[in-house]
Amino acid sequence: MASDPRANLKPLSLHVPEPKFRPGDVVDFADIEVPPAGAGRRPDVAEDAATFPELAYGLVRVLDGEARAVGPWDPRLSPDRLRRMLRAMALTRAYDERMFRAQRQGKTSFYMKSTGEEAVAVAAAFALDRDDMCFPSYRQQGLLIARDWDMVDMMNQVYSNRGDRLEGKQLPIMYSTKEGSFFSISGNLATQYPQAVGWAMASAAKGDTRIAATWTGEGSTAEGDFHSACTFASVYRAPVILNVVNNQWAISSFSGFAGAEATTFAARAIGYGIAGLRVDGNDALAVYAATSWAAERARTNAGPTLIEHFTYRTEGHSTSDDPTQYRSAGEPTAWPLGDPIGRLKDHLIQLGEWDEERQAAMDLDLAEKVRAAQKEAEKNGVLGHGLHQPLDTLFEGVYEEMPWHLREQQQMMLDEEEASGRPWARK
């Protein structure tokens, strides 16, 4: 009888990714390769994506260790534009701090900060046109702030109060404003990717000149929606920018579970035949330059671009999360790419266009503006004070014409509310 040819093989084993640091560990990010600023080449926007695959594995950087802007990706922005970008980033952080405290005070149920990631949204907003359509994830509030959107309107949505344009039908941080070219945020991961590609395809089919941009976390690249969107974007050369915010952590699982151990997230672009850039997400000038390049590429019918923003989530995933339970407390301060606000501030100081005194004065002014906006928004109520919208609006805003079965359910609800004597049943 022939022997089993596999008898001498070792049993199969399953690889389970494991983060390098757990609570209590000493952090050392020495293994992260940070190339010199200005080292990567900047292809022409019309160049075939197949000719620069190295940009999906490197790291586009503009600001060097002395806060100087160097290399071919330097966007050469005016000092005034740099100051406005710095202000928007600082305002985003001040807004986050105020809304975080509001959640801790019971004024809203949930909040998500973008601390350490402000450049990803703010610099991109400055590089895009005002009417380019944004399909964000839930940490890009900086897009609205960079577009000078009314903070009172944003806070009304956080509080789900009488002034909430969404009438309390969304989670507190899932903003939406058509006028701001800001598509409704969804709690279902990566749904915004095919929506953005579809919108971009429609814009091209109509002969429009507006492009779309979308953002998702690195963990969400494991979702099927991400891959179907990349397929459609590639096949139809949709005028869209696909941003992946690699902040190292999903809710409590590290980026390795989404494939970071094997390759970069920007490298996924190569398999789809689209342009891929890996960018220092804490370098506002690099984010601006990459987004501007990708926008021009999209607007000139050269196709989509996937940009991986290599950054770090310094805070918890949300107010419902405690990061000390799954990662070392030393990670945020040890992150080798620094703080995006501090780096842009230092660049302006290096240019002789800013100083620490003006920075401190600006921070105080912005904190007061956020406080005043909060005071105004809270005149409309806060989530903890109960129902702020007429109950019959619960059924509205889904269909252009409400179907018969929903009308029946709405009437049943109203009849029950009227019988109960509750005062908020109708508009």
d(CA 404, CA 374): 41
Which of 8-12, 70-74, 228-232 has the weakest average pLDDT?
Answer: 8-12
Task: Calculate Rg over the CA atoms of the chain.
Answer: 24
Find out if CATH 3.30.497.10 is the number for domain 49-384.
no
Please tell me the predicted confidence (pLDDT) of residue 421: 76
pLDDT tier at 24 (50, 70, 90 boundaries)? Answer: very high
Average pLDDT over residues 376-398: 87
Average pLDDT over residues 77-99: 98
Runs of H (alpha helix) within 73-147: 79-104, 118-127, 141-146
d(CA 238, CA 301): 8
pLDDT at 35 over 80: yes
% of the chain exceeding 90 in pLDDT: 88
Average pLDDT over residues 275-283: 98
Strand residues in 76-160 grouped as ranges (E): 133-135
The CB density around residue 38, as the number of other CB atoms within 10 Å, is 20
Please tell me the predicted confidence (pLDDT) of residue 1: 56
Phi, psi of 284 (to 5 degrees): -60, -35
d(CA 199, CA 168): 26
Please tell me the predicted confidence (pLDDT) of residue 257: 93
Please tell me the predicted confidence (pLDDT) of residue 423: 58
Please tell me the predicted confidence (pLDDT) of residue 422: 66
Average pLDDT over residues 157-170: 93
Average pLDDT over residues 64-87: 98
Domain boundaries, given as residue ranges, for the chain? 49-384, 390-420
Q: pLDDT (tens digit, 9 = 90+) per residue, 232-258? A: 999 999 999 999 999 999 988 999 999
d(CA 156, CA 376): 9
The continuous run of DSSP H or E covering 333 comes out as helix 331-334
Location of structure tokens 């921070």: 363
Let me know: does 60 contact 311? Beta carbons within 8 Å.
Answer: no
The CB density around residue 255, as the number of other CB atoms within 10 Å, is 20
d(CA 159, CA 380): 9
Average pLDDT over residues 162-186: 94
The per-residue pLDDT of the chain, averaged, comes to 95
